Amino acid sequence: MSFFTSFDPSVIAPSLPFLWSGLLFTLKLTLFAMSGGIVLGTLLALARLSSIGPLSLAATWYVNLMRSIPLLMVILWFFLVIPLITGKPLGAENSALITFTLFEAAYYSEIMRAGIQSVPRGQAWAGQALGMNYRQIMAHIVLPQAFRNMLPVLLTQTIILFQDTSLVYAIGAKDLLKAAEIAGKNYNRPVEMYLFVALIYFVICFALSRLVKRLQARIAIIR
Amino acid sequence: MIEIRNVSKWYGQFQVLTDCSTSIRKGEVVVVCGPSGSGKSTLIKCVNALEPFQQGEITVDGISVGARGTNLPKLRAHVGMVFQHFELFPHLSIADNLTIGQTKVLGRSRDEATERGLKLLDRVGLKSQAAKFPGQLSGGQQQRVAIARALAMDPICMLFDEPTSALDPEMINEVLDVMVELATEGMTMMVVTHEMGFARKVAHRVIFMDQGRIVEDAGKEAFFGTPRSERAQLFLSKILSH
């Protein structure tokens, strides 16, 4: 019995509600880690660029540490170690939400750092000359421009994040991939299920990368 | 209004300002000129502490700029500054460029700030451009907006750091016209520029700098008549010869 003759896509339709619930968690995890990661990453970037030595050093260490450990290990460690410290289990899904936010913050912070440095020094001077303080200059002048300049790169990182969320299957959180695995076992049709979710991952990532392309063109015009 | 006493500044080992002293009275217009690299832009940036200096003292309206306890944002809010490259905020409309300092720093209401901003925009002849973004304006227009933005803060004095150096020749006059008008109204101005026509027209005094030192600090007539230093004579002959 060859692969092609036994291929049976009819098992996909009844699994759709189940796969949908998995996709919802994948999207929730992506959006949560993206927004939390960008906020935390921006603070880390400001800390790294700060003239306060210890603050800058701590942020640098955090970023370098996170970027030097495989994501899968961070996910597993966090899932296993936190309950040992706090004494109660966090649950796979909460654990995933927190881990991804902390991990992605390191990557987003490097993007925001480059973005902040892409804003000419004269812009901060102009803000200072108007009497603005550091917080006002960052909030109203530097960060909006940094964010705009880096929007395509931030989105690209989010596409990577979206794909990486599939690693949470290792701790049993029910994301799209995990849902496909379960559904595949139910019907004894893993190949069809994995192929179908691969298609979903592809369609979403491809659409997002087209969006990145369009944004890049638009930002080039604004400049 | 502005007192500069024995100011020296170093970038690492390199001394950019050496023992600079001068003062600018209320209502006085002082032009600072000199060859590039002479420290004139650095000196003017020291006045509102955009650049720190290591020795000497600068006071603006009696407040020491370099002192530790000085509330610099508060001081700068009343010292207008215009930059060589305009430095309008590209992500904000012209109207927002004019109001952001007023609302965030001076605490004015949005309506009040907009009214003041538009009035000044009208004054520099650009009222119709309020909804546009800086990138849609010519260099000369952008610099006029930058002047209006500084004026919107009701400054007690204005600093101009080579305001026309980045402009195409045909746009220089529209900016100088605004500055001349400001000068004739009695605004205290410190202007780093090579525009000797402007200096002749409205300056009270001219300061000539070379290699980080104030070489000549004289009334306009004395400066253009018989500059004492050889270096200033040479500089003048070079930029006035054509």
Q: What is the CATH number of the domain that holds A117?
A: 1.10.3720.10
- Residue A32 and residue A100 in contact, taking contact as beta carbons nearer than 8 Å: yes
pLDDT higher at A18 or A35 = A35
The Cα–Cα gap between A115 and A106 comes to 14
Q: Which of A120, A129, A136 sits opposite B81 (nearest CB)?
A: A129
For residues A193-216, average pLDDT: 91
Report the residue of chain A nearest B75, measured CA to CA.
Answer: A131
Query: What pLDDT is attached to residue A9?
Result: 75
The Cα–Cα gap between B62 and B75 comes to 11
CB of B135 within 8 Å of any CB in chain A? yes
pLDDT tens by residue, B129-146: 999 999 999 999 999 999
Q: What is the pLDDT confidence band of residue B242, given thresholds at 50, 70 and 90? A: low
Pairing of strands B2-11, B189-192: unpaired
Q: What is the pLDDT confidence band of residue A218, given thresholds at 50, 70 and 90? A: confident
Q: What is the pLDDT confidence band of residue A222, given thresholds at 50, 70 and 90? A: low
Mutate to test the interface with B, among A116, A130, A140, A221 (most CBs of B within 10 A): A130
Q: What is the pLDDT confidence band of residue B152, given thresholds at 50, 70 and 90? A: very high
pLDDT tens by residue, A147-186: 999 999 999 999 999 999 999 988 988 899 988 888 888 8
For residues B98-117, average pLDDT: 94
Query: What pLDDT is attached to residue A13?
Result: 81
Q: Is A184 a domain residue? A: no
Report the residue of chain A nearest B155, measured CA to CA.
Answer: A130
Tell me the pTM: 0.86
Chain B residues whose beta carbon lies within 8 Å of the beta carbon of residue A222 = 90, 135
Q: Tell me which of A218-222, B27-31, B227-231 is least confident.
A: A218-222
Tokens for A29? 């995890």
> In chain A, which residues touch B (CB < 8 A)?
120, 122-123, 125-126, 128-133, 136, 140-141, 144-145, 148, 222
For residues A13-18, average pLDDT: 84
Q: Is A187 a domain residue? A: no
Q: Is A63 a domain residue? A: yes
φ/ψ of B177, rounded to 5, equals -60, -45
In the predicted structure, residue A1 carries a pLDDT above the cut 60 = no
pLDDT higher at B239 or B200 = B200
Mean pLDDT of chain B: 91
In the predicted structure, residue A82 carries a pLDDT above the cut 70 = yes
Q: Is A214 a domain residue? A: no
CB contact under 8 A, B104 and A122: no
CB contact under 8 A, A122 and B85: yes
Query: What pLDDT is attached to residue B143?
Result: 94
- Beta-ladder partners of B210: B213
**ipTM value:** 0.90
In the predicted structure, residue B26 carries a pLDDT above the cut 80 = yes
Domain containing A160 equals 21-173
Q: Is A97 a domain residue? A: yes
Q: Is A196 a domain residue? A: no
CB contact under 8 A, A129 and B150: yes
Chain B residues whose beta carbon lies within 8 Å of the beta carbon of residue A126 = 81, 83, 87-89
CB contact under 8 A, B83 and A130: no
CB of B88 within 8 Å of any CB in chain A? yes
Q: Which of B91, B101, B149 sits opposite A148 (nearest CB)?
A: B91
The Cα–Cα gap between A174 and A88 comes to 20
C-alpha torsion B71→B77→A144→B118, nearest 10: 160
Q: Is A2 a domain residue? A: no
Q: How many structural domains compose chain A?
A: 1
In the predicted structure, residue A113 carries a pLDDT above the cut 90 = yes
Chain B residues whose beta carbon lies within 8 Å of the beta carbon of residue A131 = 73-78, 101, 105-106, 153
Q: Is A119 a domain residue? A: yes
